[in-house]
Each structure stands twice: as structure tokens, then as C-alpha cells.
A and B are shown apart, each in its own frame.
Chain A
Amino acid sequence: MISGEARAPGKLKMRAFLLGDAALTAAVPIVLAFVANGILLVALGRDPFTFYSDMFERGLFDWEGFQESIIRSAPLLLIAAGLIVAFRANLWNLGADGQFLLGAALTAGFAPSLLDSLGVWPMLLATMAIAALAGAAWTIIPALLRGRYGVNEIITTLMMSFIGIGVANVLVKGPFKTDIGGVARTDVVPFDERFPLLFGTRIHLGFAIAVVAILAIHVLMTRTSLGLRLRILGANPRAALHAGLNPVRLTLIAFMLSGALIGLSGSVEILGVQGSFRADFNPSYGLLVIPLVFLARLNAIGSLVLVIAFSVIQIGGESAARQAEITTDVLLVLVGMILLFMAVTEYLRTRRGLGMRFVPPEVAERLRPLPGEGAAAPSEPRPAVGAGEVGSR
């Protein structure tokens, strides 16, 4: 019904249009957030241009600073990988902080003695395994409650997170406590018995692990049967039941995989950066990463890019904030604004989409089906996903 030469340019045009559209919707909120945050800085009597140039100077263009940014991104990437698995299955694991701290505390607690008895490499592997198992175990209760009885996992994971944070601190103040004075903490793992550094840089092995993990999650979610099952569970649970999938088992798998990756990120933070767990250590990485994976539309590759960009903003921003003598909370404002503008952009885009011509008129002319050849008319095209997705469930 359509001649080949007529269709090709139309298709190409269409694809270029969609790609440009996607890039635009990702970039617009970021630009707007920088502008809005700049206005806030002016209101606070700071020069936004100096602030932003300091930020990128330190976080991106300075080699030392850039390595800092990369190091910071390692645990965030693992958390992002863990969140994507759960969120894609429409399971809201909001207990990342508890899972992260449990992994970190157990790693820091067991590392010194394992180091003495087993040596460096077995210690690294064993602590990572312990952390992953602990993170996974921490999700079992919410997963079963959700899978079997439909109990809202947002509440249960948050509650489990509070318990996890408490348990981590109890461990550090109790069985894992050393004799070092001051704040209760675990024994420090000596610097050269932590993760090895990559290629003469200061970047540690944890970053490589994190990148591999997030790429593996990308492949898992897009190219395997397990990933497809999880996506179906997330997109249409009734269809999952109809197709004979086991929702309880899938919920458990998604949650445990998510918890394991996040627990592992705690281990990576200890073995790569901290070396020991101090009581009341809690960087709240989980809450920082959630907006980023949403901004990336739960896409692992997009998250990889955004997490690294965010790390640059964080590391550079910490230094810029010190220079400008304001609190680092402005960075949270910046990230919050990105999210806010993302939602607004998405809304406007959806509205525009309703009246949008999907094909230019001259192409539409050529697409006319001949009489007799029934054309498939889209009966219910859904509005674009995105902003609605953030709050919907």
C-alpha cells in the first residue's frame, strides 16, 4: 500500500524527530533548573556564574576533582541499578538507605577479622557477598507481604529501612566497636588492603564493579526472559497472571535483586572510600538516586550518564559551596528543581502531543491507504509516559 521510496524518508524524518524530542525533554528541565537555582543564588547574594564555573572547574575539568566525582558515583550507580530492577517491575523499594547501611556496617564489621584470617582478596569477595545477602534479606519481608497479601511496599520498605539503619548502628556501637576513642566505629581497613586502584588513578575497583552491574542490569531488563517477565509484572499484573507468570516469585526476585545490589553498594563505599563505619554515618544516597533514575525514565544507560553528571555536580558543588560560603543544601535545591521542571515539561509535552501532527502533511499524503486495504487505526494511543509515572501506581 505504500511504495518503498515514499516511506523511507518519512520514517527517517520520524525517527530523527522522536530522537530530538527525547533529548530535548531531558535537557530542558536541566537547563531550567540551573537558571532557577541561579536566581536563588543571586537572591542569596552570590554570583551564580562564579558558582557554576567553580562547580564544573572542580567536579569535571580538574583531574583530581573528576576522579573524586567518579569515585562518588560508584555506590550511586549500584543503587541506581538496584532501584531500576524494582521500579521497572512497579515495585517501589524505598528502603535503599537501610539496605545500604546494613551492607556497609556488615562489611566494615567483618572486614578486619576476615582480612587477618583469609587475606585481602577473599576478604573483599566475602564482605561483598555478605553485604549483598544482607541487602537482599532485608527486602524479603516487604516482598512477601506485597506478593502474597498486596501490602503496600512503599510503607513496608520505608519501615524496614528505619529498622535497618538502627540495626547498623547497634552493630557498630556493640559487637563491631573498636577501642579507638571518640565516636563509636569499626576497625579501619588499611588503605592498601581495600579495593585496588584502576590504572594508576585514584579510582577504585568499586567503580568498575558498579559500571558492570548497571550494564548487566540493562541487558537483563531488555534482553532476557526474566527482564521481560519483570516488565510485564510492572506494566500489567493481570496480563502477567494470564500469561502464567508467578507474581509472588517475580516480586521476590525483583526485590531481592534490588536489595542485593544496594547492599553491595554499601560494601563498595566501605571498601573503596571509608575503610571503616562510623556510628551515625548515613549519606542518604538512596533518596538522592531516586530522582535520577526517574529522570532517566528507568533506563539503565540513561541512569549511568545522569548519576555521573550528578556526582560531578555534587563534588564540584561541595567545593563551590565552600568557596561561596553557603550550605551544600543548594545542590539539593538544584536536583529538586530538575525533578520539578521534568514533571512540568512532561505535562506540556503530553498536552502538545494530543494536538501533534505525527507526520508532516506531505508524508501523510503519501501514506494514504488505497481503498480496500483496511488500515489499523490506533484506537487508544496512551499519553506519553513519564511524569504521570512518577506518582502513579
Chain B
Amino acid sequence: MAAGTDTQPGSQPAPLCELRGISKAFPGVVANDGIDLTLRAGEVHALLGENGAGKSTLINILSGMYRPDAGEIRFEGRPVAIDAPRAAIDLGIGTVYQHLTLVPTLSVLENLTLGSQGGTGRLDLGAASERFTQLAELLGVDFPPGARAGGLALGQQQQVEIMKALWRQGSRVLILDEPTSMLTPQGYEELRRELRHLTAEGLAVLLITHKLHEALELGDRVTVLRAGRKVGSLSPEDLRGHGEAELSARIVEMMFGEEASELASAVEVEAAPVARKLPRRELGPVALEARGLALDGDVDAVGVREVGLEVRSGEIVGVAGVDGNGQREVAELIAGQRRPRAGEVLLFGENVTRLGVRERERRGLRYLTDDRLGEGTVADLDVAMNAVLKRIGTQPYWRAGAERREEIDRFAQRLVERFNVHTPSVRSRVATLSGGNVQKLILAREFAGEPRVAVFNKPTHGLDVRTAEFVRDQIREAAAGGLAVLMISTEIEELVDLCDRIAVMSRGELTGEVENAPGVEERIGALMVARAGTGR
């Protein structure tokens, strides 16, 4: 009864953009398989699916990046060919991608006018300012057009991206690809409010997400994709007429099939998350220690001051905080990718501050980056080579510098199987994998060998609920086996679920540290906006 409600007549607005039977195949995989989707003016249509379900491919078709192998797109009832990004823009379809595309050194207004100038190439500053004011009112933006894009908070940068997508007069459709992945709880509320304003203006919004509660909260209509196919949808009537628990159970079933019912307890929306942190236990000696780490901020780094941390073998210590408050820099200082201005890093009591990445790794340190595409992998290399990226030149994968392909492939095959990475083969280029599968690959890489200390930066970022739970289980299991874990995350529930202690970072400083006990969320929230007592 859930499927097919798209075509139900009634009081709903007329379809603005209809996709019918869209199919798209890539070598070895069918990414979209006969997908139907209808966007209506004034509605938020949430497109939900786990990683690799075909969401990205579908929006790439709608925004003119790919051409479909089969199927038809109708815009206001007329069949249209969206065969280039230009064609999508001309129809009034704007897209905000998951990754920010702003030029950090340019002002907001300059970013907005990039590439949207008229035929003469001359910039009409007056008209641009006027458009900015219009959109700023609509979105409730509180920064000036002359602000440097790089200096804005991530949520604000996303607002600029949305403004950019709506920049041309006559926007009809706004596509948002995983818009909440970088937002704070407040930013999320703000986005929700913005979406209301946009739909009130008659815009059709297509919102891509892999988080169930977001689809239910933000969407007027929900379509669920699985393995490239549409497996169900919920109309506004469905959404209004049923309780949240019932709806999520139905969606979970669509997303994962019948067998997933028992997994329902793992779904984020189910009541309050049950803290399943490891019980009180005997901890080992101090494995990782950071003392007074300091780093000067520059174009590509947040400054860090007086960061001191201690993690014992078998312990999971969390680092909470809004993204971009120096967590990545601390992780890189510990991993050896940056040199601190002051302070020390100790591994098992040994000062390793002057050692490089490889030497620290040899002592059992692992670092999982949160930038899987930008630095975690090399897109043009195959899966197997990326699996051994941190072992280049070592036995048995290389002997006297000569590559031994069978050994490398065998190793990669083991990782792929253990973490269930979906890839046609270990010889496929990493660029052809979906984001979640790349994440699984680099996780498998860091868990391999004999890790003794691990820094995980947002290990479950972009993973569907099932895989995220699998990853958390792996972390728990490794910690029970004696691994010292420093777990950086922006999701407080996740930290509460895993950690023994939680430190909080704000503006490059540790603002406090709390034992993980019931009710800890509020204290973390307070520390996230606090400033360290050290003053300026």
C-alpha cells in the first residue's frame, strides 16, 4: 500500500518534475534500475537509502552530470533532455552537493557570482547585492555579502551553497545531497526552518539522506531506494496518519528487507539509544599521551592550544565537539602528519614527537582520517593498492622494492571480505566505489595488522545504520582486546554509546572532560559552547 502513492490524485500540488523508469548502469553495476520519482512544488521529497543504493547517481542524472541509459524526465508535463549541467540550470534545477565547493579566499558575493555572469562577462554588482538580500531574507542568513567564505562556520557555508543553487532567478527545484552531514543540532534546526520557507515559496526540494529520522522529520514525502531500485514510498497521508515508530519500522523493512525487523533496535530513531559501552573493567597502562599540544592556525588548519589527553590500553576516550574545532588537527598531531609548535606526543611512555608517520605506525598507532576521498585514498589506484597504501615497500607485499601482486590482492581480499566492502573486484578503481564502501575499506585498513593505539576520526561518518553499528562493534571488540582508542565524533549519541570518558573540544581547546554516565549529554552540550578557562 505504500508503493505507488505518488500517482494518487487528491489535493496535492501538480507534479513539477517527473522521473519515469530511470535506469543507469556502470561497468559491473546497475546503479539505477527503473526508478520513478515525482517532485511537486512546495514539497520536500526525501530520498532515503543506504550507501550505494543509487541516490547519488539519481541526483547526478537530474542535475545533468550523467545521462540515463533508459527512462524519461518530464518537467511541467513536457519531456525534457537534461544532457548537461547547463540544461538543468536552465530548467531551474539547483544542486547543493555533499562536499563544499566554495572558494575559501573569496567573499560570499564573489562565490555566488562565480560562473553566473552575463554574456559580457561584466558583473552587475547592484543586481547581485539585491539578489543576495532577497535570498538572505528567505534563508534567514546573518552574515554580510562581503564576508570571506573560508571564515564562515560550516553551517553558514552550506547556506551560501544553497544560495548559490538558487542564485538564478526562477529556481524551481533544489536538490540537497546529505545536507545535514556537517551540521550541528542548531544548524539542523535552522535547515529545517529554511526548508519550510523555501517550500512556502513554491520550490520543490529533493533531499537526499541515509538517516531515517531526517527523512521523516524533513520530508513531506519519502521514497526509499535499495540496490538501485525504488522499494517503496510514503505519501504525505501516510506520514501524517501513522506514528513515528510504525513509520520507521516500515521504512527499515523497505531499506533492508524482511530480515531487518530484528535490527530495528539498532535504528537511531528507536527511543533513546541504549548505552552499550563496555562495562567497568581493568584498564592497561597509559598507551597514548598528549601533553600541551599547540599548533598555530593558518589557511588550512585550526589553531590548537594546550591539548592534553591520556588514553589507556583498552580504554575508549571520546572527543566531542562541533566539526572544525581543531579535532582533525589534534588527530594529525598525534598521527605525525603535523609538527606541533609546542607539546609532546607519547606512545607507551616513549616520546614520539619527532618521529614520522611510519615510525609511529610501526609502534602500533593507527589513524583513520575523516577525509576518505581527499587523503584516505588515491582515487586512481585500485582497491588493493589503497588497502596497502600505508604498507608500501614492506614485506610480504613488496620484496626488494618489487611489487608482489598476488600477496597484495590476497591481503585486500581479506579486508574486503571482513568489512563486506561492495566492489566488483579488488582490482577496481577506488573512484568507482560509493562513499560508504570507501569508508569500510579504510576502516578495514586501519584495523588490519596489530593496532595498539587508534585515533578514529568520525569512523561511522556517511555509513548506513547497519554498517555504523558493525563498525562500533568492531571498535568495542578491539578495545576489549586491549586497543587504546581515541574516538573523535560529532555525534554525541555515538560517543555516549561507546566511550568511557568524553573530552570536549571547542575553538582548538579542550574545554573539559567528563566520565560517561547517565545524563552526560547535557554536560557535553554545555562544554561544546564553553571556552576554556585559560583566557585569551
Contacts and interface: CB of A to CB of B under 8 A. Distances in A.
A372 B27 CA distance: 20
Nearest to B335: A242
Contacts of B229: 371
Given A241-B337, A241-B375, A355-B83, A375 B403 contact: no
A377 B434 contact: yes
B422 A236 contact: no
A371 B57 CA distance: 18
B520 interface: no
Interface in B60-82: 65-67, 69-70
Given A223-B403, A376-B29, A377-B31, A228 B337 contact: no
B378 A235 contact: yes
A238 interface: yes
A235 B330 CA distance: 26
B434 A243 contact: no
Nearest to B50: A374
Contacts of B50: 374
A225 B433 contact: no
B28 A367 contact: yes
Interface in A342-393: 354-355, 357-359, 361, 364, 367-369, 371-382, 385
A224 interface: yes
Given A225-B392, A378-B26, A238 B434 contact: no
Contacts of B30: 364, 367-369, 375
Nearest to A228: B392
Given A244-B361, A244-B390, A376-B432, A364 B25 contact: yes
A297 interface: no
Contact of A367 (B29, B54, B257, B433): B29
A85 to B, nearest CB: 15
B374 interface: yes
B392 A374 contact: no
Contact of A369 (B228, B337, B369, B402): B228
A375 B402 contact: no
B347 interface: no
Contacts of A368: 30, 33
Nearest to B394: A225
Contacts of A359: 25, 27
A367 B23 CA distance: 12
Interface in B107-140: none
A173 interface: no
A236 B229 CA distance: 34
Contacts of B375: 236, 238-239, 241-242
Which of B83, B84, B228 has the most chain A CB atoms inside 10 A of its CB?
Answer: B228
Interface in B508-531: none
A376 B431 contact: no
Contacts of A379: 56-57, 433-435
Interface stretch (B146-154, B309-317, B379-387, B482-490): B379-387
Interface in A170-193: none
Contact of A376 (B67, B83, B433): B433
B424 interface: yes
B158 interface: no
Interface string A220-237: 000111101101100110
A50 to B, nearest CB: 45
A377 B336 CA distance: 34
B29 A369 contact: yes
A246 interface: yes
Which of A244, A246, A371, A373 has the most chain B CB atoms inside 10 A of its CB?
Answer: A244
B38 interface: no
B361 A361 contact: no
Contacts of B422: 374-376
A232 B227 contact: no
A232 B378 contact: yes
Interface in B370-407: 371, 373-381, 385, 389-390, 392-393, 398, 401-403
A14 interface: yes
B504 interface: no
Contacts of A243: 357, 389-390, 392
A242 B431 contact: no
Contact of B357 (A238, A244, A367): A244
A253 to B, nearest CB: 13
Contacts of B53: 374, 377
Interface string B29-43: 111010000000000
A306 interface: no
Given A377-B31, A377-B56, A371 B69 contact: no
B273 interface: no
Contacts of B371: 238
B392 A229 contact: yes
Given A232-B378, A374-B422, A226 B401 contact: yes
Contacts of B374: 236, 238-239
Contacts of A367: 25, 28-30
B91 to A, nearest CB: 17
B52 A224 contact: no
Given A239-B389, A371-B227, A354 B26 contact: no
A223 B403 CA distance: 5
A257 to B, nearest CB: 14
Interface in B424-442: 424, 431-435, 437
A145 interface: no
A357 B358 CA distance: 43
B376 to A, nearest CB: 7
Contacts of B23: 364
A14 B296 CA distance: 52
A211 interface: no
B476 interface: no
B423 A376 contact: yes
Given A226-B401, A242-B337, A243-B390, A357 B69 contact: yes
B434 A354 contact: no
A225 B369 contact: no
A26 interface: no
B305 interface: no
Contact of B57 (A225, A246, A377, A385): A377
B164 interface: no
B427 to A, nearest CB: 12
A227 B497 CA distance: 44
B257 A371 contact: yes
Nearest to B32: A377
A242 B26 contact: no
A14 B357 contact: no
Contacts of B57: 377-379
Contacts of A235: 378-381
A229 B226 CA distance: 38
Interface in B12-26: 23, 25-26
Contact of B25 (A357, A372, A381): A357
B381 A241 contact: no
A376 B434 contact: yes
B356 interface: yes
Given A238-B374, A243-B389, A369 B227 contact: yes
B327 to A, nearest CB: 16
22 contacts: A224-B402, A224-B403, A225-B398, A232-B389, A232-B392, A235-B378, A236-B375, A239-B377, A239-B378, A241-B337, A243-B389, A358-B25, A359-B25, A367-B28, A372-B257, A376-B424, A377-B54, A378-B57, A378-B431, A378-B432, A380-B431, A382-B379
Given A224-B403, A244-B356, A377-B26, 17 more contacts: A228-B392, A236-B374, A236-B377, A236-B379, A239-B375, A239-B377, A242-B357, A364-B30, A369-B228, A371-B231, A374-B52, A377-B53, A377-B54, A377-B434, A378-B29, A378-B431, A382-B431
- The 4 nearest A-B residue pairs measured at CB: A244-B357, A355-B67, A225-B393, A244-B358
